[in-house]
Amino acid sequence: MLVRNYRESDVPEMVRLWNQVIEDGEAFPQEECLTVEGGKSFFAAQTYSAVAEDDAGRVVGLYILHPNNVGRCGHIGNASYVVERGERGKHFGEALVKDCLIQAKAHGFSLMQFNAVVDANVHARHLYERLGFVVLGKIPNGFRMKDGHFEDIWLYYHEL
């Protein structure tokens, strides 16, 4: 397993993985899928974008790191993570989050804040808590799932 900075040649696979999450409609707020051209701009615009490779060198996950806000709150980072459906449970997510925390500090962030971790995403919630993220609170019915029902979302932070 290797987590590394993405290359432009990774973008088609990153877009495919990102769109899996969008199409599932259970974790990301976006409703529109990325195109490869749009993905090039999207991933390049982040503070840092990384991919996870399996032992065969295949891209099986990614994360994006960027400011959670601007100006006086610009020292707080935010991130989104994707692990390919068939590769979940193999610790790629853990490797991505750990690398992200290192990169966040290296890029000048002093805190990480996650604004909308869906209640049903229990594996992510357990991972964040195990890695030292602190629960700030819950927003009832803060996320509309693809099927139209609402789930609570959790807010987390982590000092770097």
- pLDDT, position 135: 98
- pLDDT, position 50: 98
Segment 107-121 shows an average pLDDT of 98
CB-based burial label for 112 (10 Å; 0-12, 13-18, 19+): buried
- pLDDT, position 64: 98
- pLDDT, position 141: 98
Per the prediction, the chain carries an average pLDDT of: 97
- pLDDT, position 78: 98
Q: Are 77 and 65 in contact (CB under 8 A)?
A: yes
- pLDDT, position 19: 98
Segment 142-155 shows an average pLDDT of 98
Length of the chain: 160
Segment 117-131 shows an average pLDDT of 97
Q: What is the pTM of this model?
A: 0.96
With H, G, I as helix, E, B as strand and everything else as coil, classify residue 118. strand
- pLDDT, position 52: 98
With H, G, I as helix, E, B as strand and everything else as coil, classify residue 98. helix
Distance CA 146, CA 16 (A): 18
